[in-house]
């Protein structure tokens, strides 16, 4: 998993509440178990017509936001089904951070396991960053996980809270497999001991 330390990038304003996982990656794209290739279908039903043409007024289709790395959204982002394909699709598109007033629990945890930082801020702070994001590609937002701050393009800074263990994992690029591999020496030692003590097992 890629580390997350700091990020300065274009933020796409999505002033919607209850953006669910079926909106993020519709169910017809869940057949794959690969973590790559889903970015082209991110927000598919919002980005494209049924014949595949781009919907011009959708934010990620607008020239200023095609390379967004941050999304600023409303309440309850990632609600709905627990599909892990949702953070996969966001990450494959290039989104590394989502800022909202609240997140659905399962989606929130899945973000940390896939290298995405979900930032919870008060409504006033999200509204400020939403307005900042509307300025376009020249108004870049900075996110610093070490100091737990989000800085708007004008320098105004907002502090956010994050679980210490989740912060450690994200800053060091450790998903569940990575955490297990950190204990590889101890696991190998245990297996060697057991093979001598209980060779029949």
Q: Residue 136: what pLDDT?
A: 93
Give the closest residue to 136 by CA, choosing from 119, 153, 118: 153
pLDDT by residue (tens digit) across 150-192? 999 999 999 999 999 999 999 999 976 566 555 556 665 666 5
| Residue 85: per-residue pLDDT | 96
Closest by CA position to 111, among listed 86, 129, 130: 86
Domain that holds residue 116: 6-197
**Residue 132 in tokens:** 């900042």
84-108 mean pLDDT: 97
Residue 31: predicted pLDDT: 86
Q: Is residue 106 part of a domain?
A: yes
pLDDT tier at 36 (50, 70, 90 boundaries)?
confident
pLDDT in tens, 3-30: 999 999 999 999 999 999 999 999 999 9
Question: Domain for residue 54, yes or no?
Answer: yes
**Residue 151 phi, psi dihedral angles, 5° rounding:** -120, 125
pLDDT of residue 199: 73
Total of domains in the chain:
1
* 52 part of a folded domain: yes
Query: Is 27 domain-assigned?
Result: yes
- Does 1 reside within a domain? no
Q: Is residue 140 part of a domain?
A: yes
Which pLDDT score is estimated for 97?
98
161: in domain: yes
Mean pLDDT of 104-117: 96
- Report the CATH number at residue 24: 3.20.19.10
Q: Is the pLDDT of residue 39 over 90?
A: yes
Cα separation of 74 and 63, whole Å?
22
Predicted pLDDT of residue 75: 98
In a domain, 182, yes or no: yes
Mean pLDDT of the region 97-103: 98
- Give the model confidence (pLDDT) of 43-84 as tens digits: 999 999 999 999 999 999 999 999 999 999 999 999 999 889
- Count of helix runs (H) and strand runs (E) in the chain: 8, 8
């Amino acid at each position: 998993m890629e580390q997350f330390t700091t990020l300065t990038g274009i933020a796409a304003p999505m002033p919607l509440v209850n953006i669910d996982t079926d909106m993020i990656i519709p169910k017809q794209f869940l057949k794959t178990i690969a973590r790559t290739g889903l970015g082209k279908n991110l927000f598919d039903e919002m980005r494209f017509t049924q014949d595949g043409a781009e919907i011009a007024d959708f934010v990620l289709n607008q020239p200023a936001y095609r390379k967004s790395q941050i999304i600023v959204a409303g309440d309850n982002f990632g609600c709905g089904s627990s599909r892990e394909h949702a953070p996969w699709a966001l990450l494959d598109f290039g989104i590394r951070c989502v800022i909202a007033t609240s997140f659905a629990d399962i989606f929130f945890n899945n973000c940390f396991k896939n290298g995405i930082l979900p930032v919870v801020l008060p409504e006033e702070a999200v509204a400020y960053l939403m307005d900042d994001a509307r300025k376009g590609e020249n108004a870049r937002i900075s996110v610093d996980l070490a100091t737990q701050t989000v800085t708007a393009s004008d320098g105004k800074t907002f502090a956010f809270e994050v679980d210490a263990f989740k912060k450690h994992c994200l800053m060091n690029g450790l998903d569940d497999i990575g955490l297990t591999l950190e204990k590889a020496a101890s696991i190998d030692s245990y297996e060697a001991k057991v093979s001598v003590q209980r060779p029949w097992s």
